[in-house]
Amino acid sequence: MQLSGSYFVIGTDTDVGKTYIASALLKHFVQLGFKAVGMKPIASGCEVSSLFDSALANADIFALTSASNVEAPLNLISPYRFVPAIAPHIAAEQVGVDIDVAVITHAYQQLTKQAEVVIVEGVGGLFVPINQKQTLADVAQALNLPIILVVGMRLGCINHALLTVAALEQHGLKLAGWIANQIDPQLLNFEQNIDSLTQRIDAPCMGVVAWQGELRL
């Protein structure tokens, strides 16, 4: 499948493989010769990292920067970083920070000046709150990027995926495609689940990742 430009990678839930897919997309664009950089606007579960000059960072940020071929300031790659591995709006409240969509948008715009491709990775699912009034959907609307949906293939994934697709449509967000990531090796009827989603989602399936397999676009 032909991919071009920047994308916003979101998931049907947390822990569905967004970072793995976002990193694979970055590697894909790097191999094609593009200047590509990853962005994780909001990151929870961070700790002081010697890899980032003793700044707060987490494994997601490390994976994205490792897959990128453009070096950018950490405050642009991830403007909001929190220690607790909890919902971002709660983590922000605990340290007296108000997550501002305008700050994220500005950081993204700065990254576009350094890279041809920016792969933005969301946090949690589409309706994860980021402050008292807004959710990740508001970030997606502000950035106005095509969406790549990572579907965590486990029991209940069809409902989660279709609800997310419906929500994207309601918010006027363009779904470029979806990727099936088998996160439960015991999932019964894996192929039939993929077929069910393919029949019901208008956007193309861009790839399938079997349990502990690799993404091939």
pLDDT tens, position by position, 105-138: 999 999 999 999 999 999 989 999 999 999 999 9
Angle between helices 136-143 and 101-112 in degrees, nearest 10: 40
Spatial contact of 149 and 176, defined as CB atoms under 8 Å apart: no
In a domain, 215, yes or no: no
Residue in the block written with tokens 């350094």: 114
> What does the pLDDT read at residue 5?
86
Given pLDDT bands bounded at 50, 70 and 90, which one contains residue 217? low
> 11-38 pLDDT, tens per residue?
999 999 999 999 999 999 999 999 999 9
> 56-67 pLDDT, tens per residue?
999 999 999 999
Q: Is 27 a catalytic residue?
A: no
In a domain, 103, yes or no: yes
What span, in angstroms and rounded, lies between the C-alpha atoms of 13 and 11?
5
SS (H, E, C) 101-124: HHHHHHHHHHHHCCCCEEEEECCC
Average of per-residue pLDDT across 141-170: 96
What span, in angstroms and rounded, lies between the C-alpha atoms of 43 and 61?
8
Write out the DSSP string of 10-74: EESSSSSSHHHHHHHHHHHHHHTT--EEEE-SEE-S-EEEGGGTTEEE-HHHHHHHHH-SS---H
Q: 44 vs 16, 50, 77, 154, CA distance in Å?
A: 16, 17, 14, 24
In a domain, 217, yes or no: no
Tokens of 201: 């989602």
Average of per-residue pLDDT across 152-162: 95
In a domain, 181, yes or no: yes
Number of domains in the chain: 1
In a domain, 216, yes or no: no
Average pLDDT, the chain: 94
Q: Pick the catalytic residue from 18, 27, 35, 40.
A: 40
Q: Residue 122 belongs to what domain range?
A: 7-209
What percent of the chain clears pLDDT 70, i.e. is strictly above it? 98
In a domain, 20, yes or no: yes
Intra-chain end-to-end CA distance of the chain, in Å: 6
Spatial contact of 89 and 99, defined as CB atoms under 8 Å apart: yes
Tokens of 195: 């077929």
State which amino acid sits at residue 92: A
What span, in angstroms and rounded, lies between the C-alpha atoms of 217 and 208?
8
- Domain at 13, CATH number: 3.40.50.300
Q: 168 vs 6, 60, 138, 163, 204, CA distance in Å?
A: 17, 24, 11, 9, 15
Whole-structure pTM value: 0.95
In a domain, 1, yes or no: no
